[in-house]
Amino acid sequence: MQAIIRRATESDLLGMYRVTLKAHDKTYDSFIPPDNLQRFRKKYTFSKEGRKKFIAKKHERLHNENWQLWVAEQDSKIVGFTLRETIGDEVFLQGLFVDPVYAGQGLGTALFEMSLTNLNKNTKVKLLVIENNLRAQQIYIKHRFKNTGRSPKSFYGAPQIIMEYIID
């Protein structure tokens, strides 16, 4: 069965939390410096408190007109999601996660492309990506994003770069 990409709903939030944990467990360990790994793993290991915080934050975003959230659903479960935030005339892509079991099926690309829909011409789209996450960078470069420099923010000590694209 092929995945369906659609807007997220309240009933998707627990599935999104599960995807977040799986994606971080299998993908990010190799990017995080060893001295920050324990703190990173603590945040991205299942806990009732972590689940509650995640769902509350995503619930808030679902009901905020500046945010758009999409999910990939396959086999009646959430297998990926992405978030987009609009601030003024700029758009920030705030995350793209796919369950590693479903990686390599084009879901990340489909979610990414969905996050770029319905944007006005000349809209600046920005995102942060871990400097060593070359797989993610290749997806963004394929969609004409350009590296515009290093971000002052790190992800648990992992340097990030800023990538931008202006809708034409």
Number of domains present in the structure of the chain? 1
- pLDDT at site 102: 93
- pLDDT at site 55: 96
129 and 140 in contact (C-beta within 8 Å)?
yes
* CATH code, domain carrying 71: 3.40.630.30
- pLDDT at site 1: 66
- pLDDT at site 122: 93
- pLDDT at site 125: 97
- pLDDT at site 6: 97
- pLDDT at site 43: 87
- pLDDT at site 35: 94
- pLDDT at site 100: 93
Phi/psi-derived region of residue 144, left when phi > 0, alpha when psi is between -120 and 50, beta in every other case: left
**Which own/partner contact pairs does 42-47 have at CB distance under 8 Å and 24+ positions apart?**
44/20, 45/21, 46/21
Place of tokens 């369950």: 99
> Structural domain of residue 46, as residue ranges?
4-166
- pLDDT at site 73: 97
- For the chain, list residues with pLDDT below 50: none
